[in-house]
Amino acid sequence: AQKITQTQPGMFVQEKEAVTLDCTYDTSDPSYGLFWYKQPSSGEMIFLIYQGSYDQQNATEGRYSLNFQKARKSANLVISASQLGDSAMYFCAMREGGQVTNAGKSTFGDGTTLTVKP
Amino acid sequence: DSGVTQTPKHLITATGQRVTLRCSPRSGDLSVYWYQQSLDQGLQFLIQYYNGEERAKGNILERFSAQQFPDLHSELNLSSLELGDSALYFCASSVVDGINYEQYFGPGTRLTVT
């Protein structure tokens, strides 16, 4: 079964508006971390935000926030005040902490391509 | 700039050949991870080394092998290359492993097998 599901292959947003990118995950491990990465057309992977399974509050980093709904197993990325430079592919990823030797192993979703329109 | 370096940036080779991809982690990082990004398979974890020892293995083919040297740089060796091995290969590093440690990605090596 897919461990990370990103159901939106492509999304469009108007500049300066907010956008939500969806991510659902599947794990039976009580300890896990959720990550979002941005991959611009140049190809590099840029870390955006992290949420731990035991974190009580939703993570925020500047214009990025993670809407973490544990019971629903969702970890949606919210980008506020979109900019043209936000146009990129966005990946949701998970690491499971049950086995310490596997804690660095990231599982990625298929990604969402975000296009910001001027 | 993440501080992780990968060489070469681009590699074009023929089927059946063998190539070596090199990665230098950020200064002080003990863990090195290799990922493959292809159109067919998406982003996949291949293998992790921690302070010279293999730590975790993912969907790495038997034709692929890796190692981490005493100076902590790592090499990914791909042999008997097939067209389907064409992909972007990322190396990432972190101080230690663990679910809450950020992995810093290198710029990637784009491998084209013809």
Looking at residue B66, what is its pLDDT? 97
Cβ distance of B55 and A104 shorter than 8 Å:
yes
pLDDT given at position A1: 57
Residues of B with CB under 8 A from a CB of A: 2, 31, 33, 35, 42-45, 48, 50, 55-56, 58, 88, 90, 92, 94, 97-105, 107-108, 110
3-state secondary structure B52-95: CEEEEECCCCCCEEEEECCCCCEEEEECCCCHHHCEEEEEEEEC
A103 neighbourhood in chain B, CB within 8 Å: 97-99
- Mean pLDDT throughout B26-48? 94
CA distance A116 to A21: 13
Query: According to the model, what pLDDT value does residue A99 have?
Result: 72
Distance CA B63, CA A82 (A): 43
Quote the pLDDT of residue A22. Answer: 98
Contact B102, A50 (CB under 8 A): yes
Where are the strands (E) in chain A, listed by range?
4-5, 10-14, 19-21, 24-25, 32-39, 46-52, 60-61, 64-69, 74-79, 88-96, 107-108, 112-117
Q: Is A91 on the interface with B (CB under 8 A)?
A: yes
Q: For residue B64, is pLDDT > 80?
A: yes
- What is the CA angle A102-B37-B76, rounded to 5? 65
Residue B99, pLDDT score: 80
B94 with A33: Cβ contact below 8 A: no
Average pLDDT (B83-92) is 97
Residue B36: band (very low, low, confident or very high) from pLDDT cuts 50, 70, 90? very high
What pLDDT shows up at residue B23?
98
Number of residues that make up chain B:
114
Spatial distance between the Cα atoms of B78 and B60, rounded to a whole number of angstroms: 10
Q: Give the chain A residue whose CA is nearest to the CA of B107.
A: A44
Tell me if residue A85 falls in helix, strand or coil.
helix
Per-residue pLDDT of chain A in tens (118 residues, 90 and over written 9)? 569 999 999 999 999 999 999 999 999 999 999 999 999 999 999 999 999 999 999 999 999 999 999 999 999 999 999 999 999 999 999 999 877 777 788 999 999 999 999 9
pLDDT at B88: 97
Q: How far apart are the first and last CA of chain B?
A: 31
Predicted local distance difference test score (pLDDT) of residue B19:
98
Instruction: Please state whether beta strands B31-38 and B87-94 pair in parallel, antiparallel, or not at all (unpaired).
Output: antiparallel
Q: Inspect the interface and report whether the beta carbons of B42 and A108 lie closer than 8 Å.
A: yes
